[in-house]
Amino acid sequence: MKKLLFILMFLTVLLNAQTIQYTMPGEDLQHKSTWLQWPHNNTFPPYHIVDNEPAFIEMTRSLESTEKVYIIVYDLLERSRVEQVLVDENIPLKNVSFYIHENDDYWVRDNGPIFVYDANHDLTILDFGFNGWGGDAPYSLCDDIPTLLAADLNLPVVDLSDMVLEGGAIEIDGHGSVMMTRSSITGADRNPNLSESQIEDYLTTYLGLTHFIWLDGQFGGMQDVTDMHIDGFAKFIDSTTIITLDSSDLSYWGLSSQDIQTLKNATDKFGNPYSIITLPLTVNDVVTTWGSSLNFKGSYANYYIANSVVLVPIYNDPNDSIALNIIQSQYPNRIVYGIDSRNLFDWGGMVHCVTQQQPIDLNPTSIDEINNVPKKILNIVDVLGRKVKKELNQILFYIFDDGSVEKKIQINE
């Protein structure tokens, strides 16, 4: 009888277990493009262009030589205006494309598409719900952006509007681990009808995440509409290393002593402690270009990893160069650029918040094309998009410098 009960319990667990249907590759893996949602003056707040456009110009300048830059603009008039701005700034438009859709704001990390691979390694867009960070800002136009872009790109889209999830609320390592705060995901203003385990089920099924590092976080009100997004203070460098702030700066940022202990004592999915690298905060409170003090120090952890560059928020502060050097030491094969984020920080965001990566297509090209065109291998990745060396008995994707991909199976003979 006991044996029968055990078997029934095992079968119940097996039937209820979530299966991975999609996987989200790490930010540091090969991109096809970076998405930007260009600031404009049509919605909220009413001074996007004059204050925040310079940061978008510099991001475009830094990115366009390393990958395509896809820019969402509000309307045709804005497209013409932004195009002329880039031309006037001597930025080549060869790798820049525009997509016209009305939108409420420029935080594309949070409202934009999340790109994943399905079981056949085809690129797919996830469209999670977006409600303006719990109703703190207008959002109805931005909520439609992922589905609109899926149509533009002719990509399948998965409607996940039953769960609210902003891209900045999760930090993944590309190997199944994720860091996040409850305050920005599980709260009554985001997902009142979902339990924590149900949210984890979503993340397993649609993002391929199986190892969860939860911090409690803190509700921020209008001073921090994100309610403490993880990407403001912590990031995976790889599957064994976390870059964050020291304990006193984490406390200044608003983390509880329990959260600080949880972060610093976190272990990977194998139970091994992470190596921890720390960044400083700014020495001084951030002051906008128009001279307004924000009465808060800035974080450098909210940086963005592109194919051959890393974009780091800077604040005209003595610690800018220190933070840039620390980050450069972690990415020796990429060039680190500082992006003036003083005005972005006025609304609580930084560089990572206004960028979103689109991974490469893992579609094999023809053998004739592969064999007849000289090209150089840039990376070899597995079915989850993770960089690997030549390994036997698994499917691998060889990524070449012309953008083509070859699918191979290495067999141990």
Burial class, 187, CB count within 10 angstroms (exposed 0-12 / middle 13-18 / buried 19+): middle
Q: Domain 31-359 carries which CATH code?
A: 3.75.10.10
Beta bridge partners of 406: 398
Separation between Cα atoms, residue 237 and residue 252, nearest integer Å: 23
Q: b vs e for 134-146, b when ≥16 Cβ sit within 10 Å of the residue's Cβ?
A: bebbebebbbbbb
The pLDDT score that the predictor gives to residue 385 is 56
- What does the alpha-carbon distance between residue 145 and residue 103 come to, in Å, rounded to a whole number? 8
pLDDT tens-digit map of 30-84: 999 999 999 998 876 665 667 899 999 999 999 999 999 999 999 999 999 999 9
pLDDT less than 70: residues of the chain = 1-17, 44-49, 221-223, 364-379, 381-398, 400-413
Question: In sequence order, what are the residues at sequence separation of 6 or more whose Cβ sits closer than 8 angstroms to the Cβ of residue 14?
Answer: none
Domain boundaries, the chain: 31-359, 364-413
pTM for this entry? 0.86
Please give the structure tokens belonging to residue 101: 């859709």
* Alpha-carbon distances of 205 from 159, 386, 387, rounded to whole Å: 13, 18, 22
- Per-residue pLDDT at 369: 42
Quote the CA–CA distance of 142 and 392 in Å, as a whole number: 44
Tell me how far apart the 2 most distant CA atoms of the chain are, in Å. 79
Joined tokens for residue 43 = 């919605």
- What is the spatial distance between Cα 354 and Cα 168, in angstroms, rounded to a whole number? 10
